[in-house]
Structure 1
Amino acid sequence: MLTDRQKNILQIIIRDYTRTGMPVGSKALASEFPTHVSSATVRNDMAALESKGLITKTHFSSGRVPSIEGYRYYVDNLVEPDPLDDSAEDLIKSSFNSEFNRIDEIVQESAKVLSDLTNYMALTFNPESGDDVTLGGFRLVKLDDRQVMAIIVTNNGHVVNKIFRLANVSSEQLETIVNIINSELVGKPLRQVLEKLKFDIPMLMTKYIQTPEGFLKIFGEMLNEAGKDKVHVDGELNLLRFVERQDVDRLKPLYNLLGTEDTVQKIINTKSNDVQVRIGGELRNDLLKDYSIITGTYDLKEYGHGVIAVVGPTRMPYSKVIGIVGALREELTKKLLGYYDDDQD
């Protein structure tokens, strides 16, 4: 249990260390209090905080810096999310006022906005597919004598397209294939569609394509991609501002780690219903020991839910970033629900 003054001291140490990156000493802390508090009194309180593991001494200064436990106590007990300033509100509104043709585009834009507002790396996830996602439509477009573009759309707005080779097939045959897929599979859950690709559809396809296996394999790959929670990333280079020159080489494996969808989903908790902060060692990955990840879940009711996330150094301004994540997820929710409602009209 901390006294009010100890809480204030911890807050000041975190605030000043976030701003400067330098350890904070007792003399500087004493000057922050409105009524006179001696440096000796502050030192005693700092010793108490240190004994609880909330601050730690550096090797090159008599000042103190927050520990991971100190940040955790601060986030859990002391932090108050900052409201958005006018410029941040204007950026969000102007960005979301653009015309968007796909869910992907809106979620990608939210990653850019989140990175611009925080000056950190941002990741945003498309709405989670879940079991309710169905095949919404399928098209084949003949590009030339050998190449065809396949396009599938899910009921939650996810679009996947792929160009592949399909020689010796006429436009009439392609149209027949499209009609088969749309009549047999549209409206069915993606898992059921994949099952039908193994048994029912190949038999129908052999009437129109001599060897349909290649096409069906590609179609299955597209369905699997449509069922994944796509991740959009922005602001990767922002992390360069927070590493020492000798540690720059550590960023490449970090980028690889955060650039792989399956890995990212394991690191970032996509099941939490609120804004969540995980710090350093809590992320259970040595590449992330000097970083924090702040996530916020957006809920789209029957259309599923998704996640937005910020990756930054442990000494980030938590109140500011938590406020931004909370506000942006609300605006993103409104924009996406509006998109779905318009699509139903």
Structure 2
Amino acid sequence: MLTERQLLILETIVQDYADAGHPVGSKVLESQLPVHVSSATIRNEMATLEKMGFLLKEHSSSGRIPSLKGYRYYVDNLVKPSAIDPQLVDNVRKALDNQFFKIDQLVASSAKILSQMTNYTAITFKPATKQVRLQGFKIMPMGNQQVMVMLITSDGEVESQLFNLPRQISGEELEAMVRIINDQIVGLPLDEVVDKLRESVPVLVHYIRQPSGFLSIFGGILNKAVDDQFYVGGKLNLLDFVEDGNIEQIKALYSLIDRSADITNLVATQDHQQTIHVKLGNEMADRSLLNYSLISATYDVAQHGQGLIAILGPTNMPYSKIIALLEVFRDELAHKMLDYYDFYD
């Protein structure tokens, strides 16, 4: 259990190191602590915190910096969001004050805005699509037995793919197949569509020689619509915090930001009951992120599901400021999305 004085010292060192980027000494702390404590007493407390694993010394005569254990304690017990600045709220609203014709445009723009406001890397996920339904199905003849299959979902997304039909299929048969799908499939939640199509195969087999091939393509389009879609802003900002001369880390980070599966896994353990979540470098599977932290926040868009926004930056980032920004941003983003759905629904 840390004493009140030790808590003050740890909190001040974390905040000073975020602001200045170099070790913090006892003389600096003496002038900053809200209670009068001698420099010698502060040095003793710093030594105790170092023995407990909360602080580190870069070399024998330097001040202290927080350890990952120190950051974890600070994040779990001490950090408080900065006071909400009305100007910050106004800036976020103005940044989001554009007309968006697709949710994806809004989510992509949010990643770019967040990265510009922080100079870190931003990741934004669109709301989960479990309640999204298949709203429309069309087949457009393209000539030479080629058709374009189009799916329209209830959140305004349109997915399409070209498909080659057997030459034996006539226009009447194609129309009959479209009617069957519209009668039995349209209106269902996306995660039920393929199962329902499989039930309809005995009927569809009269119109398609290889219904399993059609199901495969139909399923592929649906997977594209259902998959978590995310956007990354400020990818190269990650490289600003690479250890000097660490070529291997640079290579690993370049590889990370180009692999969608790794980005998804990075935020996969987000607890959606905990609206703000901080993950430190040693808690992330990718070792190239050892001196980075991920701060993520969920945002709720009513019946349209939950999305997520996240900031990936150096471990010594100003947590209070970033958490305050994410709290403001998620609220404004959710309002913007609700306005979008209200307008297009």
Q: TM-score, normalised by structure 1?
A: 0.87
SS in 2 for 1:92: helix
Shift of 1:36: 5.5
Going from structure 1 to structure 2, the CA distance change for 1:170 and 1:332 (only over 3 Å counts) comes to farther
What does 1:37-48 align with in structure 2 at a 5 Å threshold?
37-48=37-48
Instruction: Give the partner amino acid of 1:67.
Output: S
Instruction: Give the partner amino acid of 1:331.
Output: E
Cα root mean square deviation, aligned = 2.7
Q: Is the 8 A contact 2:194 2:215 kept in 1?
A: no
Which position in structure 2 is the counterpart of 1:49? 49
Q: Is the 8 A contact 1:88 1:117 kept in 2?
A: no
Q: Which runs of 5+ in 2 are unaligned?
A: none
Aligned residue-pair number: 342
Which position in structure 1 is the counterpart of 2:290? 289
Going from structure 1 to structure 2, the CA distance change for 1:8 and 1:250 (only over 3 Å counts) comes to same
Q: Is the 8 A contact 1:270 1:307 kept in 2?
A: no
Shift of 1:76: 1.9
Shift of 1:227: 1.9
CA distance in 1, matches of 2:163, 2:60: 61
Instruction: Give the partner amino acid of 1:28.
Output: V
Going from structure 1 to structure 2, the CA distance change for 1:35 and 1:290 (only over 3 Å counts) comes to closer
Q: Which runs of 5+ in 1 are unaligned?
A: none
The answer to whether residue 97 in structure 2 is matched with residue 97 in structure 1 is yes
**Bigger CA drift: 69-78 or 308-317?**
69-78
Shift of 1:51: 2.2
Which position in structure 2 is the counterpart of 1:264? 263
Going from structure 1 to structure 2, the CA distance change for 1:29 and 1:271 (only over 3 Å counts) comes to closer
Which position in structure 2 is the counterpart of 1:183? 183
Which position in structure 2 is the counterpart of 1:338? 339
Instruction: Give the partner amino acid of 1:123.
Output: I
Shift of 1:321: 0.8
CA distance in 2, matches of 1:173, 1:257: 48
Which position in structure 2 is the counterpart of 1:193? 193
SS in 2 for 1:272: coil
**Bigger CA drift: 321-330 or 284-293?**
284-293
Instruction: Give the partner amino acid of 2:342.
Output: D
Instruction: Give the partner amino acid of 1:56.
Output: L
SS in 2 for 1:65: strand
Going from structure 1 to structure 2, the CA distance change for 1:137 and 1:259 (only over 3 Å counts) comes to farther
Which position in structure 1 is the counterpart of 2:112? 112
Measured against aligned partners, the alpha-carbon deviations of 1:194-217 in whole angstroms (never above 9, x if no partner) come to 1133341x4444444444544332
Which position in structure 1 is the counterpart of 2:78? 78
SS in 1 for 2:32: coil
Going from structure 1 to structure 2, the CA distance change for 1:18 and 1:198 (only over 3 Å counts) comes to same
Q: Is the 8 A contact 1:80 1:319 kept in 2?
A: yes
CA distance in 2, matches of 1:336, 1:171: 41
Instruction: Give the partner amino acid of 1:244.
Output: E
Which position in structure 1 is the counterpart of 2:303? 302
**Aligned residues with identical type, % of pairs:** 45
Q: Is the 8 A contact 1:135 1:187 kept in 2?
A: yes
**Bigger CA drift: 227-236 or 136-145?**
136-145
**Bigger CA drift: 225-234 or 173-182?**
173-182
CA distance in 1, matches of 2:142, 2:271: 42
Q: Is the 8 A contact 1:295 1:308 kept in 2?
A: yes
Going from structure 1 to structure 2, the CA distance change for 1:10 and 1:204 (only over 3 Å counts) comes to same
The answer to whether residue 171 in structure 2 is matched with residue 160 in structure 1 is no
Instruction: Give the partner amino acid of 1:191.
Output: D
Which position in structure 2 is the counterpart of 1:237? 236
Q: TM-score, normalised by structure 2?
A: 0.87
Shift of 1:221: 0.7
Shift of 1:343: 2.7
Q: Is the 8 A contact 1:18 1:315 kept in 2?
A: yes
CA distance in 2, matches of 1:163, 1:91: 43
Instruction: Give the partner amino acid of 1:343.
Output: Y
Going from structure 1 to structure 2, the CA distance change for 1:20 and 1:174 (only over 3 Å counts) comes to farther
Measured against aligned partners, the alpha-carbon deviations of 1:45-103 in whole angstroms (never above 9, x if no partner) come to 21122122111111375211101111112122222212455664344223322111222
CA distance in 1, matches of 2:334, 2:44: 48
Shift of 1:298: 1.0
CA distance in 2, matches of 1:270, 1:45: 35
Measured against aligned partners, the alpha-carbon deviations of 1:85-138 in whole angstroms (never above 9, x if no partner) come to 5664344223322111222122112111221112111111111123x3321222
CA distance in 1, matches of 2:245, 2:141: 52
SS in 2 for 1:309: strand
Q: Is the 8 A contact 1:250 1:287 kept in 2?
A: yes
Going from structure 1 to structure 2, the CA distance change for 1:176 and 1:90 (only over 3 Å counts) comes to farther
Q: Is the 8 A contact 1:152 1:161 kept in 2?
A: yes
Going from structure 1 to structure 2, the CA distance change for 1:122 and 1:140 (only over 3 Å counts) comes to farther
